[in-house]
């Protein structure tokens, strides 16, 4: 039409279906997808957890308490907590140091370091445990020297700690690296121009910025340390009352047809896992509320 003003490209874009609509799909599609997701969660997660609790209490509270308080179970619990108490602080120190180096400095071999950090994610935990057997076992590289000096690593606490360290060391680093990369180095550089030392920069600038990511990584590391089975199974020797952690103790009880006792001990791991999940959710909520 003569005299009319041509429409701009932006004016020809169709209007949004609404502020709360991410797509234009029919409502039944949304509810179908939600229902399918709920069924998957129910079948794969919720139902097995309920079965564990039901089987644990199947023969009553007396059997349940007896299974948790018998000497082998208490020994397995103490060993599990001890291994976690050793490995989590060590992996926290390593994770913070690795994330600091990778995100704050440029150097040759950075890609190789990141690949090595991800290595435990790429190989089976059983293979990880077998590595330590081949290195520190009686027929391994250092086996004769260790036997000569009466140092026991495999089938003892040091081997369990080494295997758990290997399996869990990426968790803290992998939580911090993307966070610290996103934050950049501007605040640290500003602190340097003001004359702050390296330690003061870390404690007063870097650590407050990464505290929630650090705690999140520590929780994941702790959960994996307490629940690790494959690598620990290879290096522990399954010595009841000495080198059995809680997951190994559950396996032994189940293989001996002590089903109620095995599910009772498994429920203890379940309680620890749920507590870890609650703390993780709380930290996530705190992190969002402070932004």
Q: How far apart are CA 115 and CA 174, in angstroms?
A: 11
Write down the mean pLDDT value for the chain: 85
Helix (H, G, I), strand (E, B) or coil at 230: helix
| Residue 185 pLDDT > 60 | yes
| 88 has pLDDT over 50 | yes
CA gap 3, 69 in Å, rounded: 91
Q: Is 167 within 8 Å of 120 (Cβ atoms)?
A: yes
Q: How many other CB atoms sit within 10 Å of the CB of residue 253?
A: 22
Q: What local confidence, expressed as pLDDT, does residue 165 receive? A: 94
Average pLDDT over residues 221-242: 90
Whether the pLDDT of residue 24 is over 80: the answer is no
Give the pLDDT confidence of 239-266 residue by residue, as tens digits.
888 899 999 999 999 999 999 899 999 9
pLDDT in tens, 189-207: 888 888 888 788 888 888 8
pLDDT at 166: 94
DSSP state of 105: -
Cβ burial, residue 206 (10 Å; 0-12/13-18/19+): buried
Q: Are 222 and 88 in contact (CB under 8 A)?
A: yes
Task: With cut-offs at 50, 70 and 90, classify the pLDDT of residue 17.
Answer: low
Stated pTM of the model? 0.81
């Amino acid at each position: 039409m003569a005299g009319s003003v041509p429409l701009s490209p932006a004016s020809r874009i169709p209007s949004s279906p609404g502020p709360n609509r991410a797509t234009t799909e029919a409502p039944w599609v949304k509810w179908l997808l939600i229902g399918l997701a709920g069924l998957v969660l129910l079948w794969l997660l919720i139902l097995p957890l309920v079965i564990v609790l039901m089987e644990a209490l199947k023969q009553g509270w007396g059997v349940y308490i007896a299974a948790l308080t018998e000497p082998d179970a208490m020994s397995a619990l103490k060993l599990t907590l001890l291994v976690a108490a050793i490995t989590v602080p060590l992996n926290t120190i390593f994770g913070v140091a690795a994330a600091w180096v990778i995100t704050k400095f440029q150097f040759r071999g950075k890609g190789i370091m990141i690949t090595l950090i991800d290595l435990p994610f790429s190989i089976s935990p059983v293979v990880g445990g077998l590595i330590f057997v081949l290195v520190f076992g009686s027929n391994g590289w250092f086996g004769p020297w260790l036997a000569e000096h009466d140092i026991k690593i495999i089938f003892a606490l040091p081997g369990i700690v080494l295997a758990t360290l290997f399996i869990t060391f990426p968790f803290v680093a992998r939580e911090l690296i993307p966070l610290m990369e996103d934050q950049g180095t501007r605040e640290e550089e500003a602190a340097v121009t003001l004359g702050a030392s390296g330690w003061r920069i870390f404690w007063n600038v870097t650590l407050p910025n990464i505290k929630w990511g650090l705690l999140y990584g520590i929780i994941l590391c702790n959960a994996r340390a307490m629940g690790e089975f494959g690598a620990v199974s290879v290096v522990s020797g399954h010595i009841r009352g000495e080198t059995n952690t809680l997951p190994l103790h559950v396996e032994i009880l189940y293989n001996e047809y002590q089903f109620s006792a095995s599910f009772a001990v498994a429920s203890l791991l379940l309680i620890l896992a749920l507590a870890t999940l609650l703390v993780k959710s709380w930290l996530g909520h705190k992190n969002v509320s402070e932004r």
